[in-house]
Structure 1
Amino acid sequence: MYHRLWLIVNTALVVILTVYIWIISPHDSSSVVLAQLLAQIAVIFFIVNVNMYFIFLVIRNTSQRNVKIRLAKFSRALMKWHIKIGVSATILILAHALINLSKVGPLVGYTHVKFVSGYLAILMLSVTLFAGYLRYKKSSGFRRKFHLTSAMILLAAFLIHIFVLLN
């Protein structure tokens, strides 16, 4: 039951973002369109990484042994890519930010709500990366919770950033 809801929410988020980015918020500048594309790819990468939490949650809370085994195998394979996906998404986000700072910033101002929410999202991305680095170096309950909490705050921050209108 929960896995269906999980798939529906993820799919809906990607579809809503696609419609929002390409239909509701289109741009004439090819570099801004590139920035939008980079951001959309990065969001998909972040969704994949955030979903690691939900996979582990299902593993902990399900009573069906075959589901636990299947998800444990899947998560073991996906975990090998977790850091690479996160770093790739970060690079894409930084490119997105640099393009928008140079092309859109002078037009709307660097203190526009869209930019301020982007600054917050990048700050939370930095905290999440730092927490992930700490967890990678030495795992502990505190470091796991710190990384998880910062990732969930990052998720909220970038969702706010995405849906703030630029106009």
Structure 2
Amino acid sequence: MIARWLLVNILTVIAIVLWSLYRGYDSLYILLGKMAAQTAFVLFLINVNMYFVFLLIRKSKVRNVKVRLAKISKTMMKYHIPLAITASLLIVIHGAMMVNAHSSELGNVKILAGALSLSLLAVLLYSGLLRHRKATGKRRKFHYTMAFIFFGFVILHIFL
């Protein structure tokens, strides 16, 4: 199950990179903007995987697997917030670069999907801040629900 999930992650990243190469780029500036976005995506994907690690801990019946995953999750949680902040900064940089490069096309569907994704990122970060201040089940569920909604809109933005 873990190997399958890792394979899905790797194939997703490869598909995004290949799609980006297929779409091409007009200048080095746009290429750097795309690279910032792809790096942010990988960091975000690492953070989203925390949900699946915790899900596997809850669902697994094998004690050794639970213990190993708990150790992994303990290490990963130390980096959850720094990864989220770094990914968010890279996304803002990407957005600023793309708006600057395509300022005449701000009504473009891809740019509008990116703006909506950026708005959802703000809600996601706020939900993470609330969860960090006081962890409740409702806040946890809202945070991971927002993460998956954000992820869906990011995928939509990428492949438009």
Give the TM-score normalised by structure 2. 0.98
Which residue type is aligned with residue 17 of structure 1?
Answer: I
Q: What is the CA–CA distance in structure 2 between the aligned matches of 1:25 and 1:105, rounded to whole Å? A: 19
Partner of 2:74: 76
Q: How does 1:85-124 map to 2 (within 5 A)?
A: 85-106=83-104, 109-124=105-120
In 2: Cα distance, 1:141 partner to 1:74 partner: 22
SS of equivalent residue, structure 1 residue 111: coil
Task: Output the CA distance in 2 between the equivalents of 1:61 and 1:50.
Answer: 17
Alignment of 1:32-71 (within 5 A): 32-71=30-69
CA separation in 1, counterparts of 2:28 and 2:6?
32
Structure 1 unaligned residues grouped into runs of 5+: none
Aligned length: 160
Identity within the alignment, %: 39
Q: Look up the match of 1:19.
A: 18
Amino acid at match of 2:14: V
Give 1:28 deviation, angstroms. 2.7
Deviation at 1:60, TM superposition (A): 0.3
Task: Determine the structure 2 residue equivalent to 1:3.
Answer: 2
Could you state the TM-score of these two structures normalised by the residue count of structure 1? 0.94
Any idea what the Cα deviations from partners look like across 1:61-85, whole Å, max 9, x if unmatched? Answer: 0101111101100000000000000
Q: How many angstroms does 1:114 deviate by?
A: 0.2
| Equivalence for 2:143 | 147
Q: Where does residue 137 of structure 1 map in the other structure?
A: 133
Deviation, structure 1 residue 29: 0.9
Q: Structure 2 regions of 5+ residues with no counterpart?
A: none
The amino acid that maps onto 2:19 is Y
Distance 1:98 1:20 in 2: 21
1:156 to 152, 155, 160: 152
1:105 deviates by: 2.9
Q: How far does the alpha carbon of each residue in 1:100-136 deviate from its partner, in whole angstroms, 9 at most, with x for none?
A: 0011232xx1111101110111011101000000000
| Cα distance in 2 for residues equivalent to 1:91 and 1:33 | 17
Distance 2:62 2:16 in 1: 34
Render the CA deviation track for 1:18-51: whole Å, top value 9, x for unaligned: 11112x1111311100000000000000000000
Runs of 4+ in 1 over 3 A off after TM superposition: none
Out of 54-63 and 2-11, give the one that drifted further.
Answer: 2-11
Q: Distance in 1 between matches of 2:108 and 2:133?
A: 38
